[in-house]
Structures are given as structure tokens and as C-alpha cells.
Amino acid sequence: MDGVSDMPFRTITEEVGQPAYTMTEFTAAEGIRAGALRLLSDLAYSPSLIPVVAQIFGSDPEAFVQAAAVSAALGFDGIDINMGCPAKNVTEHGAGAGLILDPPRARAIIEKTREGMQRWADGASLAELGVAPSVIDAVALSRESLPANRQGRRVLPISVKTRLGYREITVVEWMHELFPAKPDAITLHGRTLAQLYKGEAHWDAIGQATTVIKAELGIPVVGNGDISSLDDGIQRATLAGTDGFLVGRASMGNPWVFTRHTPTIHEKLTVALRHLALHEEFWGERGVLTVRKHLFGYISSHPTASHIRGELARATTYTQVRAILEEAHTTTSL
């Protein structure tokens, strides 16, 4: 989730929810190729036993050579290509869900991602692959802190996250367009681009597509859309025949969504304070205004949630935010 699933968010999710894997914010392949160092913060992750997947997007297949090699060099466990983002500023440039209208480009992107990763695994240097010097230096610095099991040159699985169609549901036809590029896994969000995030996710269509994907490629399929709890996800995945489910918006301020535990307000505020500390450590002062979106979810069931939201909305420093949460925490503990 762009602007949401940063390293602090994923760290909290891993610590509390312990999902099967986590995925980074989507990161522009063209930006990585151009040497935009700020984008590497999107690819930062904390040491974890839980697999972490790098999510990249773009419209220029050649840029995915560098993006894939950089992702592999950073020690990720997989690469996910976003072909589902409905944002206008993404789709109008032929990226995200815009690729549904351009199958040849979509296939080329998968193939170039595989090429860049394979060349890295076979021993090519990032410089030989055309990665900008500034990015090479940053990756080298990051690799110094990687655990030994993430420093090797590996061929990573490539997944594609996409939607059911552009204006209408054409997911079976769309899947047949992707099959020649042989992705290793596919995640289907149960809406078309035209739906954005409105209406209900069409899990029946996910199920129909899953049947076709399993029959023709035999690869894992993950469903996504409107999942509100672990049991809800299991039920939807079982009915659709998918191998799992992806949780997005329901995990904001609620890392327990991956468990059957119902946290108390005291537990929520304890984790909220931990999340706040991680956010401040990672982003510094520039992140104080962006942490609110995470904290609102933690306080949603508090008896004075409306009052706390108002105070958080007016807070401009981490000290103020921390004081608000600590006061709510102390009151709740009584």
C-alpha cells in the first residue's frame, strides 16, 4: 500500500500478526534506474524470519532489469510486479492497472524482471546491469547489514498483482495474455480498475480465474479484497480455491487481523506506542504528520476515540503525539 506499508508498518505487522509474508510499498522501476535514492527507503525492511517481497511498478520493461537486480541484491525473498494500482497518475503512464490494456508490454515487463534477476544470480555486477552508481553504493551499504542467508545470489520467484479487468471483468482473457510470460504466482484483487475500491470485491470471479490458472499454469494464486479477519480470509480463499489471501486496508492499525486474538484497548495502545517509536526512528521529524493514519486504527474502539482523533490531528510533534497516546494508555489501564 503506497504511503502505508513502510518498514515500521511491516515490522509491527510481523511482530504482532506474523503473516506468511509481507510486501513493500510499490516502488518505481524507472526511479530506481534513474538513481532516485529516496525510493530505497520504500525497499527497506527489518531483519525477520518472515519472507519479505519487493513490489515494483512501471511501464518501461528495460527499467525492470535494474529494479529486479537491485531487489535481489537487497536480499528479498521475491519480486512482485504491481499491475493493479488504479491511481490515475500511474495508469495514465501505462503502469499499474494500465497494463491490462497493453498485454505485450505486461509480458515484456515480466520477462525483463526475470532477465535482470537471472543475470544478477549468474554473477553480473549491478554496474554491468546499468544500475546508477549512487544506488550501487547504497545497496552495498545495505548488504553489509544483511544476515548471511540473504547475502547470496538467488533466483527469486516473480509474482504479479493485478485486477479483474479494466472497465469490466475480463480476468480469464487477461490471465491468458499473461500465461506466456510464466509468472511464478498471481494475486488477484477482486475489482476492476473502474471500480477503484468501491463496491464489493468479486470473489466469484477470482474463483473462476483461479480454476483456469491452476489448470493451465499450476501456480499459486492469492486472492485480495474486502477481507476483514483471519477466518473471513480463510473462508473466501477456500470457496475461491486460492492458495491464500492478501490483507491490505484492514491491517492498518490492526496487525491482529492476521490472528484470532481480539486485543484489548490497553494492548492496542501499547502496540500503537511501539509503532510510533519505530516510525520516529525510521522517518525522523518528517514522518510526524504521516504517522496519524496508522494510529487512528489503534484507537478506533477507545471510549473517547473521537476526542483522541481530534488531539492527534492537531499534534505537530512526536512529543505531543506520544503524550496523547500515553495519557489514553494510562487512563485505560486504570
- Strand locations in 225-329 (E): 244-246
Does residue 2 fall inside a structural domain?
no
Query: Residues 217, 283: one domain?
Result: no
CA gap 191, 203 in Å, rounded: 9
The pLDDT, as a whole number, for residue 144 is 86
- Is residue 52 within 8 A of residue 27, CB to CB? The reply is no
For strand 185-189 and strand 244-246, is the pairing parallel, antiparallel, or unpaired?
A: unpaired
Instruction: Say yes or no: 152 and 243 in one domain.
Output: yes
Q: Classify residue 150: in a domain, yes or no.
A: yes
pLDDT tens per residue across span 193-246? 998 888 899 999 999 999 999 999 999 999 999 999 999 999 999 999 999 999
**Looking at residue 155, what DSSP letter applies?**
P
**286 located within any domain:** yes
pLDDT digits (tens, 9 = 90+) for 144-167: 888 888 888 999 999 999 999 999
pLDDT of residue 47: 75
| Owning domain of residue 144 | 7-258
Q: Which one has a higher pLDDT value, 144 or 28? A: 28
Q: Which DSSP state fits 63?
A: H
Q: Are residues 199 and 289 in the same domain?
A: no
- Residue 43 located in a structural domain: yes
Q: What angle do CA 245, 215, 109 make, to 5 degrees?
A: 65
Rounded distance between C-alpha atoms, residue 81 and residue 84, angstroms: 9
Q: Is there a domain that residue 197 lies in?
A: yes
Number of domains in the chain: 2
Verify that 115 and 222 share a domain, yes or no: yes
Q: Sorting pLDDT into bands at 50, 70 and 90, what band is 333?
A: low
pLDDT score, position 252: 93
Domain C-terminal end among 198, 223, 258: 258
What is the pLDDT, as a whole number, of residue 186?
98
pLDDT, residue 1, reads: 80
d(Cα 6, Cα 136) in Å, to the nearest integer?
Answer: 22
- pTM for the structure as a whole: 0.93
Identify the CA nearest to 153 among candidates 211, 268, 74, 84.
Answer: 74
**Would 1 be classed as within a structural domain?**
no
How many other CB atoms are found less than 10 A from the CB of residue 78?
19
Q: Are 203 and 287 found together in one domain?
A: no
Q: What is the CATH number of the domain that holds 23?
A: 3.20.20.70
Averaged pLDDT, 117-130? 96
Largest CA distance in the chain: 62
Looking at residue 119, what is its pLDDT? Answer: 96
Domain co-membership, 26 together with 85: yes
- Residue 97 CA to residue 188 CA, distance in Å, equals 12
Q: What is the pLDDT of residues 64-121, one digit of tens each?
A: 999 999 999 999 999 999 999 999 999 999 999 999 999 999 999 999 999 999 999 9
Residue pair 273/318 in contact by the 8 Å Cβ criterion = no
User: How far is the C-alpha of 305 from the C-alpha of 75, rounded, in Å?
Assistant: 40
Cell triple for 76? 528479498
Local structure of residue 253 (DSSP, 8 states) = T
243 and 292 inside one domain:
no
Choosing from 258, 291, 321, the residue where a domain stops is 258
